[in-house]
A and B are shown apart, each in its own frame.
Chain A
Amino acid sequence: MTQAIPMTLAEKLVARAAGRESVRPGEVVTAKVDLAMMHDSGGPRRVAPMLERLQARLWDPDRVVVISDHYVPAVDAESAGILDLTRKWVKAAGVTNFHDMQGICHVVLPERGHLRPGLFVVGGDSHSPTGGAFGTYMFGVGATEMCGVLVTGEIWLRVPETILLHWTGRLAPGVVAKDMILAMCAKLGMDGGRYQAIQYAGDTVAGLAMQERMTLSNMAAELGAQTGLIAPDTVTRDYLLAAGVPAGEIELAAWQGDAAAAAERHDFDAATLSPMVAAPHSPANSAAVGEHGNVSVDQAYIGACTGAKINDLRMAAGVLKGRRVASGTRLLIAPASARTTAEAAADGTLAVLTEAGAILLSSGCGACAGYGAGVLAENETCIASTARNFKGRMGAGSSKVYLGSPYTVAASAVAGRIADPREFLA
């Protein structure tokens, strides 16, 4: 028996997809894609003309998932046309994994049982690293690159180094995964991930619920990483079983990496972390909530793939129960998926939110990227549970977006200014 070369989780996942025993960071390999996910914006409307030009078919329609989430529901002839084209293309191409207006792709994909540890998946969206929370090697690509995958079932990549982001200690009440990732953005910067693979680890990460882990992996995009992995464990397995993945398809032991093989490591202390808020116009402009001074907010927004999962809505409800949104401030909530809304309705969360004066919006990418309902006017200020606060992203060019956890956004909605949620949770 030869001694196995120590490999990180990322290296093991890439090696499997490349059909290799082992890989080394820096090598260029061709990987076989297990699943390709695309949405209505970067999907059919862009790839259909390319496939036509190539006169090519999908390499495997059963390995393609299409999710309409950007232009939903249609608000004008253009968006209606994009959704119509998506539906017609899916049918003609023989794609049966189609989730139309069921929620945001990064939340719907695991929710409907499409992910599991060990897979190699590409998504036509930059927040595709979200899949990394399940021990899936998942990353975002543009539409032309997606077309290449759809035709060949393959993609090239440079085997990434692994950057280990290691958290120990217990988070204080009111401090959550969103605060952890904003702290990491502040420390490492928007290119700290160097388009390599991030792996989140340590007892803090192991103690997080699946949806909280998804928040960390989701914002690996904001760290500039290719993917954001978390080694799968029983928390992963329990989520996947509930999503209908057969037990025999959930392997945990094979997808644990050797942490010592990581190229870079950063250590963080969870116990001393405060709720974090990112000032305009970058998630890297994050500091403890108390350091932002007196900032009044016109709009508070709980939405997007990052910050409107069921756990996020429950956090907001924890603050809003028995309280009202401040006069002069509007709180908009767009649950991340149809199932999220159903769960929130079933457990009473939804009633708490609406009784506090929250305005409920449909599930989709919506205001986060300036696509849908809830965009900002010139000079307005918003605090959002989303991932990005780039200039003009949520609407008018002069609008300002702060980022925080659902706790912090809800607390700010009640206060009418950026507020520390711990004052409301005591």
Chain B
Amino acid sequence: MSSAANNAGRVWKFGDNIDTDVLAPGLYMKSPLAELARHCLESVEPRFAKEVKPGDIVVGGRNFGMGSSREQAVMALRELGVAAVVAPSFAGIFYRNALNLGLLALVCPEAAQIRTDAVLAVDATAATLRDLETGKIYVCETLPAHLLQMIADGGLLPHLEKKLNAQRSKEAQA
């Protein structure tokens, strides 16, 4: 396997306004995450949770993740091994949740042009996607510096942990 194929994934394409109730249905919100994840997106694509493989990429339409603040919408995708979510626009809370939990969320103005059966190589640092068959490169929006740092640390919790530890060791030395 080439190194590009190592971080390449099959595309699962969805329409506009995919909401948090179909990502994490309320009926299963008190169930363990593995159970909730089995129902992720089932009301729009029953095959998804059964057939999605680690490394696959979800490509949505406009306003992906609209609705609730429930982080389980992100956690269910992560639990199923989804490597990245790509959309022309995201709902604000979902987008923040995804980055806070270390799920790569890429704003891609040309997401609608991504082929349904494409396999994409993701370059998180450059914020680009490459269709392995056609070679087409999709350029996504890059993130502000403070968010890149947080993602580099692995999400908000590890980022906070690092900051708190630095603060504590400074206090211990004082």
Chain A interface (Cβ < 8 Å from any Cβ of B): 28, 41-42, 46, 50, 53-56, 71, 78-79, 82, 124-126, 128, 140-145, 147-148, 151-152, 156, 190-191, 195, 221, 224, 226, 282, 369-371, 375, 388, 390-393, 395, 397
Contact = CB atoms under 8 A, between A and B. Distances in A.
Given A124-B69, A125-B69, A392 B157 contact: no
Given A142-B97, A226-B92, 6 more contacts: A41-B70, A141-B96, A148-B160, A282-B17, A390-B22, A392-B27
Contacts of B25: 370, 392-393
Contacts of A388: 19, 21, 67
Nearest to B68: A126
B27 A142 contact: no
Nearest to A371: B26
Given A390-B67, A391-B44, A144 B161 contact: no
A191 B62 contact: yes
Nearest to B98: A142
B87 to A, nearest CB: 11
Contacts of A55: 164
B47 interface: no
A147 B21 contact: no
A195 B92 CA distance: 6
B29 A41 contact: yes
A370 B63 contact: no
A156 B27 contact: no
Contacts, number: 121
A216 to B, nearest CB: 18
Nearest to A147: B157
B71 interface: yes
Which applies to chain A's interface (DSSP): helix, strand, loop or mixed?
Answer: loop
A144 B157 contact: yes
Contact of A147 (B19, B70, B156): B156
Residue from B31, B101, B155 having most chain A Cβ neighbours under 10 A = B101
B97 A145 contact: yes
Nearest to A281: B19
A71 B25 CA distance: 15
B29 to A, nearest CB: 7
B63 A224 contact: yes
A71 B19 CA distance: 21
A54 B68 CA distance: 26
A370 B27 contact: yes
A78 B30 contact: yes
A318 B68 CA distance: 32
B42 interface: yes
Contacts of A369: 21, 26, 68
B93 A140 contact: yes
Contacts of A143: 71
B16 to A, nearest CB: 8
Given A191-B89, A226-B92, A370-B27, A142 B71 contact: yes
B146 interface: yes
Interface string B9-27: 0000000010111100111
A7 to B, nearest CB: 21
Given A144-B156, A191-B63, A393 B71 contact: no
Given A145-B100, A151-B160, A191-B66, A42 B71 contact: yes
Contacts of A395: 27
Contacts of A156: 146
Given A53-B157, A151-B160, A144 B101 contact: yes
A334 to B, nearest CB: 15
A106 to B, nearest CB: 12
B17 A140 contact: no
